[in-house]
Amino acid sequence: MNDLSDSQLINLCLDKNPLAWSEFIERFSKVIYWAIRDRLRRWGYQFQEGDVENIYQEIFVSLWQKPKLAEIKDKEKLSGWLVMVAGNNAVDYFRKKKRKEPKDITFIFKDLAFSNDNPLQLLHSRELKQTLESVLGTLPSKEKIVITLSYLYNKKHREIAEILNIPINTVSTLIFRTKERLKDKLEEKGIRNIEDI
């Protein structure tokens, strides 16, 4: 069974083959378990090991009972899909079963955001924010995704290219072009020395 490709394994699991099911669990348990823990940790949930085990079990029950595995379009690229399913199931578990929402999952970006401690800085930053929004807010959707992955998630150009399945040169050009556009716009507004802000 361990010689079977992922897509062959899924087809057998869809046929409810118990041997294939055991192999499927052996093959993907680790990545599913990691995805649950990783999502809960990142989103700031307080969780016990028992919660992770319950979510893990629920995922496999739903994969066995519902034809969820049949939804996958490219069965050879299974692990990415499983990571998403596991992560989203972890969030759903806490929302439905424990009735717990994370305090504010966007807290992870808080340290990066503008500091509003200084009133003078706030005054300056308002105009600056408008300028930034006029460039970044009007980007085509794909470009916006690239910029967000690069700046908010600190992804390298190579990583973004791999995630979005696009050439690395496209990623680099896109980021460079956005920065240039923003620089021009800031200069238009008379903001030449950004350190003054």
Partner 1 sequence: MDNINTLIKKHLADKAVGSGLKRSKKCPSEADLTAYLHGTISEQKSEKISQHISQCLFCLEAIEQTSRQDMSIREPGPPRQVIERAKAIAKTQGSGGFYRLKKHLWLIGAVIAFGLSFILSKYFFQFLILTLILGIKWALDTANTRTLIMVNDAWHKHRNKDDQEKPAKKPSL
From residue 13 to residue 52, the character string flagging contacts with partner 1 as x (rule: CB under 8 A) and all else as - is --xxxxxxxx--xx--xxx-xxx-xxx--xx--------x
CB of 176 to partner 1, least distance (A): 10
Q: How many residues does the chain have?
A: 197
Binding of partner 1 by 168 (CB under 8 A): no
Convert residues 176-195 into a mask of x (bound to partner 1 by CB under 8 A) and - (unbound).
Answer: --xx--xx--x-------xx
Helices (H) and strands (E) in the chain, counts: 8, 0
Q: If binding is defined by CB under 8 A, does position 164 make contact with partner 1?
A: yes
29-39 core/surface letters (b: 16 or more CB in 10 A; e: else): eeebbebbbeb
Question: Residue 180: exposed, middle, or buried by beta-carbon count in 10 A (0-12, 13-18, 19+)?
Answer: exposed
- Cβ at position 191, least distance to partner 1 in Å: 10
The structure tokens listed for 58 are 């629920």
Q: Under the criterion CB under 8 A, does residue 147 sit at the interface with partner 1?
A: yes
> In sequence order, which residues have a C-beta less than 8 Å from that of residue 19 and are 6 or more positions away?
1, 12
Residue 91 engages partner 1 in binding (rule: CB under 8 A): yes
- Nearest-approach distance from CB 100 to partner 1, in angstroms: 13
**Contact flag: residue 134 with partner 1 (CB under 8 A):** no
Q: Which of 27, 145, 170, 172 binds partner 1 (CB under 8 A)?
A: 145
Nearest to residue 9, comparing CAs of 17, 18, 20, 19? 20
Which listed residue (155, 157, 171, 174) binds partner 1 by CB under 8 A?
Answer: 155
Q: Please tell me whether residue 109 binds partner 1 under the rule CB under 8 A.
A: yes
At its nearest, how many Å lie between partner 1 and the CB of residue 46?
Answer: 18
Cβ-contact 135, 77 below 8 angstroms: no
Q: In whole angstroms, what is the distance from residue 2 CA to residue 18 CA?
A: 14
Strand residues in the chain grouped as ranges (E): none
Residues 51-90 that bind partner 1 (CB under 8 A): 52-53, 56-57, 60-61, 64-65, 71-74, 77, 79-81, 83-85, 87-88
